[in-house]
Amino acid sequence: MTEGVALFGATGSIGESTLSVIAAHPERFHLEVVSAHRSINKLIGIIERFEPKHVILTDQSKADEFMEKLPKHFNGSLAFGEHSLTEAASATDVDVVMAAIVGGAGLVSTYAAVSKGKRVCLANKEALVMGGDLMMTEAQKQGALLLPIDSEHNAMFQCLPESYVVGQPIAGLKQLVLTCSGGPFREWTPEAMRQATPEQAVAHPNWSMGQKISVDSATLMNKGLELIEATYLFGVSEQSIEVVIHPESTVHSLVEFVDGSMLAQLGSPDMRIPIAHALGFPERLDLNVERLSLTKLANLHFEAVNHEAFPALALARQASADGGDRPIILNAANEIAVQAFLKERIGFTEITELVSDCLNQIDRQPISSIDDVLSVDTMSRHIADQWILERA
């Protein structure tokens, strides 16, 4: 009996890696549900290869074009619009949900999967950044199993006992150490970064990722979002998390204990490794990936973050410490800023300027429901848009 996987965000880099793992283990998994936003041709290719039972296209404006290209032999169900994701997350034939939709758009469907007590492989860090308290409380209430997919959080999880439950305090912990490649601008000066182009920002030295996360890696905002995510996944405050630059991206993260022991997880920079770990947990799945050769490894380097050059990390750390609506504002303003940068409407260093201004402008709002989260998210995006218009 194979496990039914619902893959939300199938056409992105995480989705493609997940499909590769599923294809390598047909005896273990089958694609029950697949979703995409508007990448029709990629979605058609997935349908032809994996024959999912349920297909969701969230961009309803593409429905007619999609229907014209849909393979004639497809006999599964079709649905359109983001609301269809919450219904799919509840399907009885879905055993595992891979939450891989980029940005705040993945929040509601991830929460729906958690609310149904599903096994949720969390590749959408924004779901915890925006609604961490609500998400973790609901997961505990419904018995949902949250498993981290980000290579850093998955690395930490692998360093902990198999009995460890995500969200609970870690016995004997001294600190968590998040490693960071430093991105394409690691050795650039702040003055040089002011002239950085979108093409330069998305050229990550180690990982093949989508544009948004690549820009976040260039600003180090991605590491800031990961820091916030880690506080929820491992039940710690931001003060218990250190971030270090590790250009080789071989040591994916570390866990330091009070007795002086430090455990690390190493591997090639290939997202199939953490994906396979989460899908197969607690078992290990055989993967045809590049293996590390310790005798051939070059020197491994670690260095401190240059906070003057990369202020995004400090913004995220403060948002985590302040809690409440601050991480929501941080995430929303950053998403708007990154898209504006990619469209060349603002400069690279203005991304963090915009985020900082939004955090300073918006009064604190109480957060007690997902609707509250969405309300703050919408307001923050509006203010960020206005910021950009005023500087046009």
Separation between Cα atoms, residue 52 and residue 46, nearest integer Å: 8
H helices present in 190-291, as ranges: 190-193, 198-201, 211-219, 221-233, 272-280
pLDDT at 223: 96
pLDDT at 72: 87
Distance, CA of 381 to chain centre = 19
Beta-bridge mates of residue 54: 33, 77
Would you give the DSSP letter of residue 260? S
Beta-bridge mates of residue 303: 245
pLDDT at 295: 85
The token pair at 142 is 């419904």
Residue 180, exposed/middle/buried by CB under 10 A (0-12, 13-18, 19+)? buried
Separation between Cα atoms, residue 296 and residue 226, nearest integer Å: 30
Separation between Cα atoms, residue 237 and residue 134, nearest integer Å: 17
Q: pLDDT tens-digit profile of 331-364?
A: 999 999 999 999 999 999 999 999 999 999 999 9
Q: pLDDT tens-digit profile of 282-316?
A: 999 999 999 998 888 878 999 999 999 999 999 99
pLDDT at 149: 97
The token pair at 144 is 């949902």
**Identity of the amino acid at 336:** I
pLDDT at 313: 97
**Identity of the amino acid at 134:** L
The per-residue pLDDT string of the chain (392 residues; one tens digit each, 9 = 90 and over) reads 899 999 999 999 999 999 999 999 999 999 999 999 999 999 999 999 999 999 999 999 999 999 999 988 899 999 999 999 999 998 899 999 999 998 899 999 999 999 999 999 999 999 999 999 999 999 999 999 999 999 999 999 999 999 999 999 999 999 999 999 999 999 999 999 999 999 999 988 777 678 999 999 999 999 999 999 999 999 999 999 999 999 999 999 999 999 999 999 999 989 999 999 999 999 999 999 999 988 888 789 999 999 999 999 999 999 999 999 999 999 999 999 999 999 999 999 999 999 999 999 999 999 999 999 999 999 999 999 999 999 87
**Identity of the amino acid at 88:** A
Residue-range domains of the chain with CATH: 3-148 (3.40.50.720), 151-268+290-314 (no CATH), 323-392 (1.10.1740.10)
Separation between Cα atoms, residue 6 and residue 26, nearest integer Å: 15
Helix/strand/coil for 181? coil
Q: Is the peptide bond before 190 cis (omega within 30 degrees of 0)?
A: no
| Residues with Cβ within 8 Å of residue 1, at least 6 apart in sequence | none
CB 100 within 8 A of CB 12: yes
| Residues with Cβ within 8 Å of residue 143, at least 6 apart in sequence | 117
Helix/strand/coil for 243? strand
Separation between Cα atoms, residue 156 and residue 176, nearest integer Å: 8
Separation between Cα atoms, residue 318 and residue 224, nearest integer Å: 10
pLDDT at 240: 98
